[in-house]
């Protein structure tokens, strides 16, 4: 199936090239299914950019990893094979390591706090840092608060995670957290996760609820515990050379629409949270809200110390001062 999608994507890319003389067509890639809110953002952006540039700039959307996994899409955006990419912030922190502070457990205590940081001076500085690696940072859309699913039982206290074969992303702090909890963290691309859960390669995973729903992990996971142990932002970025090649007016449209699309997607994320939880429950998941977050926060403290040892505490202090 993935070979078919990739072949179709390559054909579409070739078609894009044939239309170059008719205007600017931008290739927008992300890893989420087209039922996810990330696709809503992509569609809004594509429609508004075309409308506000009178069709001079159009956007072709490639969801569900059609142009590769997250790292391949980001590499493609840096090289210009992909024009716009949206992926988890954790997939960019290898290039801008200090931004791992945003992903630290319990760093961003509420959505309001997260938006204040990401949309303010700290976030603007973070986006500017991507220019050094060939990307124009546009915005920080929402992935959301991460929660644990598994097939063993509810996760109420840190000890309940012990022994779980936990799929994690490549965030250093999240891998450290689950090692502290005596789970067995294993990094896997999200595209491989459903099969890994189905076959027992891993028996637990942690994602925002919208990802658990759109990737249908409820079909292979029984328990969802609302640990909300870390807020995860997405990064919306564009190939820097392609951005600089646009007219100033077109650049403004891209930046304005990226900000509006991000605000729209965040609003939908908040509004749909309880609806998604209801859908997960209707599909057989047991939702556990009885989580001792104070104990989890205490357990996570060493992850902050590890970050500070590597990068200093200035960014953490600025983030905490903005509560």
- Domains of the chain by residue range: 2-142+233-271, 145-230+275-318
What is the pLDDT at residue 245? 98
CA angle 126, 129, 131 (to 5 degrees): 135
Q: How far apart are CA 155 and CA 161, in angstroms?
A: 6
Asked if residues 153 and 221 have their Cβ atoms less than 8 Å apart, the reply is: no
* pTM as predicted: 0.92
For the cut 90, the answer to whether the pLDDT of residue 7 exceeds it is no
Contact 148, 206 (CB under 8 A): yes
17, pLDDT greater than 50: no
Rounded Cα–Cα distance for residues 197 and 192 (Å) = 9
Please say if the pLDDT value at position 237 is more than 70.
Answer: yes
Pick the closest to residue 257 from 92, 33, 51 (CA basis).
51
Cβ pair 64, 5 in contact under 8 A: yes
Give the span between the Cα atoms of 124 and 141, in whole angstroms: 13
User: Within the chain, what is the greatest distance between any pair of CA atoms?
Assistant: 60
> Pick from 311, 272, 289: which is nearest to 103 by CA?
311
Cβ 94 vs Cβ 187: under 8 Å: no
Q: How confident is the model at residue 49 (pLDDT cuts 50, 70, 90)?
A: very high
Give 186's Cβ-side CA count (13 Å radius): 17
Q: Minimal CA–CA distance to 111: which of 272, 258, 280, 233?
A: 233
For domain 2-142+233-271, the CATH architecture is: 3-Layer(aba) Sandwich (3.40)
Spatial CB neighbours of 4, under 8 Å, sequence gap ≥ 6: none
Q: Residues, the chain, total? A: 323
Q: How many CB atoms lie within 10 A of CB 145?
A: 21
Mean pLDDT of 303-318: 98
Domains 2-142+233-271 and 145-230+275-318 share a fold: yes
In sequence order, which residues have a C-beta less than 8 Å from that of residue 24 and are 6 or more positions away? 56, 57, 58, 246, 250
Backbone torsions φ then ψ of 54, nearest 5 degrees: 55, 40
Query: How distant is the alpha carbon of residue 61 from its chain centre?
Result: 17
pLDDT, tens digit, 9 for 90 and up, residues 151-194: 999 999 999 999 999 999 999 999 999 999 999 999 999 999 99
Q: CATH class for domain 145-230+275-318?
A: alpha beta
**Percent of the chain topping pLDDT 90:** 93
């Amino acid at each position: 199936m993935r070979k078919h999608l990739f072949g179709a994507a390559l054909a579409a890319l070739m078609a894009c090239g044939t239309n170059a003389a008719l205007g600017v067509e931008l290739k927008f890639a992300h890893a989420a299914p087209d039922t996810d809110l990330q696709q809503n953002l992509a569609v809004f952006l594509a429609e508004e950019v075309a409308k506000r540039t009178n069709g001079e700039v159009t956007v072709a959307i490639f969801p569900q990893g059609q142009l590769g996994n997250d790292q391949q899409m980001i590499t493609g955006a840096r090289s210009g094979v992909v024009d716009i990419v949206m992926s988890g912030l954790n997939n960019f922190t290898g290039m801008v390591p200090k931004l791992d502070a945003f992903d630290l457990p319990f760093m961003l205590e509420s959505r309001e706090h997260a938006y204040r940081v990401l949309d303010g001076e700290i976030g603007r500085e973070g986006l500017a840092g991507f220019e050094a690696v060939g990307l124009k940072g546009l915005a920080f859309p929402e992935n959301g608060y991460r929660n644990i699913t598994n097939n063993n039982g509810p996760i109420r206290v840190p000890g309940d995670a012990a022994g779980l074969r936990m799929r994690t992303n490549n965030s250093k702090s999240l891998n450290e957290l689950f090692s502290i909890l005596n789970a067995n963290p294993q990094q896997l691309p999200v595209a491989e996760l459903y099969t890994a859960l189905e076959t027992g390669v891993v028996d637990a995973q942690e994602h925002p609820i919208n990802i658990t729903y759109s990737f249908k992990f409820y079909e292979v996971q029984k328990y969802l515990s609302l640990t909300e142990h870390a807020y995860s932002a997405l990064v919306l970025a564009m190939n820097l050379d392609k951005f600089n090649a646009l007219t100033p007016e077109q650049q403004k449209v891209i930046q304005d629409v990226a900000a509006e699309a991000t605000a729209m997607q965040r609003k939908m994320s908040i509004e749909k949270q309880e609806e998604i939880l209801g859908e997960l429950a209707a599909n057989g998941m047991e939702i556990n809200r009885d989580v001792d977050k104070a104990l989890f926060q205490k357990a996570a403290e060493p992850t902050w110390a590890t970050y500070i040892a590597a990068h200093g505490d200035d960014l953490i202090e600025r983030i905490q001062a903005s509560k």
